[in-house]
Amino acid sequence: MTQRDLTSTESEVAELIVRALELDIRPNEIDPDAALFDEGLGLDSIDALVISLEISKRYDIQIRAEDEQTHQIFSSLGALSSYVEQHAQK
């Protein structure tokens, strides 16, 4: 199964993730539909906090840990990017 191309928002968020976490991969290597945690990229809760802070700075979006949707928001690059698109300050 091949990976689909990233949307522009997915590319931006992937770059943010790679830069913020100093990952040793290229942003376009992140599968937008793969899990960010566990068997996917293998991120953890500290990584999620770092990503949340960077998203807050860049897009003026607050993602709260206690929000019931947080697990779904961080389920994949695609889900996180969709959330950013829907909530970014225009």
pLDDT at 68: 84
Evaluate whether residue 83 is within a structural domain: yes
State which residues form the domain around 23. 8-87
Q: What is the pLDDT of residue 2?
A: 55
Residue 53 to residue 36: CA distance in whole angstroms: 16
Domains in the chain, number = 1
Give the model's pLDDT for residue 64.
84
pLDDT at residue 29, rounded to an integer: 94
Residue 2 included in any domain: no
pLDDT along the chain (90 residues), means of 10: 79 97 95 91 93 95 86 95 88
Please name the amino acid found at residue 5.
Answer: D
Q: d(Cα 44, Cα 14) in Å, to the nearest integer?
A: 16
Tokens of 43: 């991120």
Q: Which residues pair with 37 in a beta bridge?
A: 43
Write the burial class of residue 77 (CB in 10 Å: 0-12 exposed, 13-18 middle, 19+ buried).
buried
